[in-house]
């Protein structure tokens, strides 16, 4: 994955990712239409498909709903790199097939607008603009297969079809 970085600070909660007033739907396109609007009202007008969100500590804290990572993924963002993730957001992201990477060093070495390249299979985050490169433990194979399948439900359907 390779894209432009959009930075957010610490403790970005799920209500900032997709405001609670839109949770009367589970339509991914409708959720994506409101992605990050309370944190940055112009966010969707600025991003391009494949761009990357970079967050601080505890990204995705708050309510335990899949709407937040689903909004990010459906808005066309490639992944989220953060200093740390709220545990439930981490699991929800994997379950819907959104790649996420915890890499404090990348957060420290990257500014908004930089181009970042992320290889979750190898566990490499590279700042193309500034030349920095950081290594993180790659996800276990099972998690990589869930992400590659587009999420847990797609993965289960694929596996069930093999039986």
Tell me: the pLDDT tens digits for 99-115?
999 999 999 999 999 99
pLDDT of amino acid 162: 78
* Gap between the Cα atoms of 74 and 76, Å rounded: 5
How large is the average pLDDT for residues 148-156? 93
What are residue 101's DSSP bridge partners? Answer: 81
pLDDT of amino acid 72: 97
Tell me: the pLDDT tens digits for 51-75?
999 999 999 999 878 899 999 999 9
Entry pTM: 0.94
* Gap between the Cα atoms of 157 and 163, Å rounded: 10
Q: Is 8 helix (H, G, I), strand (E, B) or coil?
A: coil
Tell me: the pLDDT tens digits for 124-151?
999 999 999 999 999 999 999 999 999 9
Beta strands per DSSP E along the chain: 2-7, 52-55, 79-82, 100-102, 115-119, 124-127, 133-135
Whether 91 has a pLDDT exceeding 90, the answer reads yes
pLDDT band at 163; cut points 50, 70, 90: low
């Amino acid at each position: 994955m390779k894209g432009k970085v959009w930075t957010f600070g610490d403790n970005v909660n799920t209500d900032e990712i997709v405001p609670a007033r839109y949770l009367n739907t589970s339509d991914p396109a409708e959720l994506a239409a409101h992605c990050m609007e309370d944190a940055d009202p112009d966010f969707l007008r600025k991003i391009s498909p494949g761009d990357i969100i970079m967050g601080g500590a505890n990204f995705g804290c708050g309510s335990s709903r899949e709407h937040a990572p689903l909004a990010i993924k459906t808005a066309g963002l490639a992944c989220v790199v953060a200093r740390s993730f709220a545990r439930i957001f981490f699991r929800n992201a994997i379950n819907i097939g959104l790649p996420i990477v915890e890499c404090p060093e990348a957060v420290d070495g990257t500014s908004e607008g930089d181009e970042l390249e992320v290889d979750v299979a190898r566990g490499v985050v590279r700042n193309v603009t500034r030349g920095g490169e950081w290594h993180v433990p790659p996800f276990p194979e099972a998690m990589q297969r869930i992400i590659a399948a587009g999420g847990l439900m797609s993965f289960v359907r694929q596996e069930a079809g093999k039986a």
